[in-house]
Chain A
Amino acid sequence: MKAPMTSQQKKIVAVVAALTALAIIIPNTNSFIILLATRALAFSILVMSLDLLLGFTGLPSLGQAAYLGVGAYLTAILATKFQFGLGYDFWVVVVLGILAGAALAAIFGLLAIRAAGVYFLMITLALGQCVWGLAYRWNSLTGGDNGINLRNRPKFGIDLSHDVTFFYLVFGFFVASLLAIYVLVRSPFGRSLAGIRERELRMKILGYNTWLHKYIAFVIAGGFGGLAGVLWAHTAGIVSPENVVLTTSVDALLMAVLGGAGTLVGGVIGAFIVFGLREYLSTLVPWWQYVLGSVYVATILYLPGGLMGIPERIRQWRAMSGRAERQ
């Protein structure tokens, strides 16, 4: 007799089913929705990287947009100033983007990892602002306020200017990132991170080099951020200081919390909801900002586990009412 599925296995099945559905349904909708989904998926990679820090290591970073920015600007500058990255060398740019994000995180991590909790929040904010300031003022490199326009998407055997093809590419990267981070958090390294999140002192006593663990997680998150940046540059076709402004980092944080920190997929759900509200609802009604704000407030107040935590809450509520009935 086969054993019933564990809840973990159930979750995996659910995620796989949802992803498959996404891959099938989206390309059959209209071009606007395809574009929106592509954007949400690219940004989700950034949100997942943030979730690695926030949900699994307990480090609330308010400056992840900096890594997206580094990846995006690198892509844009290589494409426009050096005509590099528009053919098979696109894959080289992907690697460079990841390295650039990781390198920046390596530098910033040295400054940031010493802090914890809200202090960590503040310092990542400050560092993010530095990157913004540079993007804004270093006109000759970044085009300043105007940003940089990428005229064409890469072509290497397949033509990425075709929206559906590009969607599949981004989808592929997204799934790969999800898998990679998932494997990471289930590994012994990932479990140590969770231990640090719960009780750093205990981990230290047990002999773990917590600083190094956190630092490595930070660098990895930076790498994924860089990847998100490369994809983002080609999705939007334009890179500007808007991409590294404070509110972008705040967005990522909110999406992670909305979906449910520590669940990885939660961030994706959060991203889709926010993008959907912001870009789709805004075409229908002018008061979408209130909806978005209220959704945040309501989730934070009543759903500490985010939206992914809803099934758990329902179970608890049922258990409680069941108990009450029995009494």
Chain B
Amino acid sequence: MTGKFPRKLSLALFGGCLAFGLIATAGAQQAELRIGFLAPTTGIFAQVGKDMVDGFQMYLDEVKNDFAGAKVVFIVEDEQGKPDTAVIKARKLVLQDKVQIFVGGLLASTGYALAPVSTKDSIYISTVAAADDLTQRDLAKFPYFIRTGWTSSQPSHPFGQWACDQGYKKIITIGADYAFGYEVIGGFQKAFEACGGQIIQKIWPPLGTKDFGPYLPTMKQDADAIFSLMVGPMSLQFPRQLAATGNKKPVIGGGTSYDEFVLPSMGDEVIGHVSALQYSAALDTPKNAEFVKKYRAKYGKVPSYYSESNYTTAQMIHEILKQNKGKWPGGEAFIKQLNAINMDTPRGPVRIDEMRNPVQNIYIKKVEKKKMFGYDKEELWNTVIKTYPNVGQFGQFDKAEYLKQPLYNRDVPACKHC
């Protein structure tokens, strides 16, 4: 039966089309910024991954996912602490979700695996993966990659100088036997020997060692101090077992040996131990105090550098979007602009060098038991005892000379005084 098209119906249809049109154009007007995030949210690194995500998420919640008018779509993918899973998830983010930026990756090996996945439409920002060469000898291979975290050896260079200043002449190093360990200790050795010190022994327990029984008795007796680079469960066990041997020598170490990720589970045996990193939760600046208090109130724990690095990166991305009035400027322009950034963050002032790695403060921190930031319990904190400002990835060394030497390895620098 044909008949007149009911008047009310056509009016409704017209109204519907109009509304739909308005909504569609309104939606189109508000730009979207799709950010992919790769962290191990399951598996043995699950807690670290959670810190990474929480750091970034906290900033997003503060600005209600609005970066200067662009709506942030935040997609978190689980890389399970495995490089090939990270690559698959990164490609999903790039190809399927069409993210403009993907952030994260925990391990150095993951960093190396992810860098090639970046494209001019989906750039990669590393906030934690610290493998030195990504922004040194391999830089040219990855034009769509930039780092806002650190290089493994970055804190070690000023730390080596600090060790000389303390009067240490001979130091034994003991560190996890893998690339991250080589780079942290390598940087320390280079700097320490450059100002007159001597590394007289290098011990390399395999990554994941919990029983240091075989290694501790082999340590030479004539050292002035012991430098340890421990990660994860190793950080918990080493200081205790060292103390149980009756060790009286000063203990210093890489930033991850005592960072806020493991510090809450440590005991009094680490009081007085000194380490170097670009962040300490005990950094007594108003900006950091605010960050720590907010983070702790929201997530129930003191932020680690994993949290801070991602929080700050979110802040940086926001800054760049502000400069572009909320529009995505394209991968190449974004990298250029991020490269030119100079910002004050919870860890202090940060800018990015010409090889796309941060230049920042390095803090020499000492473990102390005290109350901080108005909390009423005595806890272990990494008190900052010295600040080296404006430290780049090459530290006090000439860049050209530095790049001529090979990447830090088990035998680079060679142990001349062993």
Contacts and interface: CB of A to CB of B under 8 A. Distances in A.
B297 interface: no
Interface string B373-417: 000000000000000000000000000000000000010000000
A286 B41 contact: yes
Interface in A273-303: 279, 282-283, 286, 289
Given A240-B84, A286-B42, A149 B116 contact: yes
Contacts of A236: 84, 87-88
Given A137-B206, A240-B84, A32 B91 contact: yes
Interface string B41-80: 1100000000000000000000000000000000001101
Nearest to B76: A283
A30 B91 CA distance: 11
B252 to A, nearest CB: 24
A160 to B, nearest CB: 15
Nearest to B176: A145
B83 A30 contact: no
A279 B179 contact: no
Nearest to A235: B84
Given A31-B91, A149-B112, A289-B42, A144 B179 contact: yes
Contacts of A146: 108-109, 112, 131, 178-179
Given A149-B112, A240-B84, A35 B91 contact: yes
Contact of B85 (A145, A149, A151, A279): A279
Interface in A137-171: 137, 139, 144-147, 149, 151
A32 B95 CA distance: 7
Given A30-B96, A145-B178, A149-B113, A36 B108 contact: no
Contacts of B83: 147, 238, 240, 242
Interface in A3-38: 30-32, 35-36
Contact of A283 (B92, B95, B108, B131): B92
A237 interface: yes
Interface of B (DSSP majority class): helix
A236 B207 CA distance: 24
Contact of B95 (A31, A237, A242): A31
A30 B207 contact: no
Q: Considering residues B41, B84, B112, B410, which has the most beta carbons from chain A within 10 angstroms of its beta carbon? A: B84
Interface of A (DSSP majority class): helix
Contacts of B207: 145
Q: Considering residues A136, A236, A238, A282, which has the most beta carbons from chain B within 10 angstroms of its beta carbon? A: A238
A289 to B, nearest CB: 6
Q: Considering residues B82, B83, B108, which has the most beta carbons from chain A within 10 angstroms of its beta carbon? A: B83
Interface string A46-67: 0000000000000000000000
Interface string B86-120: 01110110011000000000011100110010000
A214 interface: no
A13 to B, nearest CB: 33
A236 B109 CA distance: 13
A139 B412 CA distance: 14
B151 to A, nearest CB: 15
A226 to B, nearest CB: 18
Contacts of A32: 88, 91-92, 95-96
A238 B89 contact: no
A39 B131 CA distance: 27
Contacts of B206: 136-137
B296 to A, nearest CB: 24
B44 to A, nearest CB: 11
A282 B177 CA distance: 32
B77 A283 contact: yes
Contacts of B179: 144-146
B129 to A, nearest CB: 11
B130 to A, nearest CB: 12
Interface string A244-287: 00000000000000000000000000000000000100110010
Contact of B88 (A39, A145, A151, A242): A39
Interface string A214-233: 00000000000000000000
Nearest to B84: A236
Contact of A36 (B78, B88, B107, B177): B88
B82 A242 contact: yes
Contacts of A238: 83-84, 87, 109, 112-113
Contacts of B178: 144-146
A136 B208 CA distance: 12
B84 A242 contact: yes
Q: Considering residues B78, B82, B109, which has the most beta carbons from chain A within 10 angstroms of its beta carbon? A: B109
A282 B41 CA distance: 10
Contacts of B78: 282-283, 286
B88 to A, nearest CB: 6
Nearest to B410: A139
A151 B118 CA distance: 12
B359 to A, nearest CB: 26
Contacts of B87: 236-238
A146 B176 CA distance: 13
A45 B118 CA distance: 30
A237 B113 contact: yes
Nearest to A236: B84
Interface in B282-302: none
Contacts of A137: 177, 206
Contacts of A289: 42
Nearest to B83: A238
Contacts of A149: 112-113, 116
Contacts of B116: 149, 151, 237
Contacts of B92: 31-32, 35, 283
10 contacts: A30-B95, A145-B109, A149-B116, A237-B87, A237-B116, A238-B109, A240-B82, A279-B89, A283-B78, A289-B42
Given A145-B178, A146-B109, 10 more contacts: A30-B95, A31-B95, A145-B179, A146-B112, A147-B109, A149-B112, A237-B113, A283-B89, A283-B92, A289-B42
Interface of B: 41-42, 77-78, 80, 82-85, 87-89, 91-92, 95-96, 107-109, 112-113, 116, 131, 141, 177-179, 206-207, 410
The 6 A-B pairs with the shortest beta carbon distances in the complex, nearest first, are: A31-B95, A236-B84, A32-B92, A145-B178, A146-B109, A32-B96
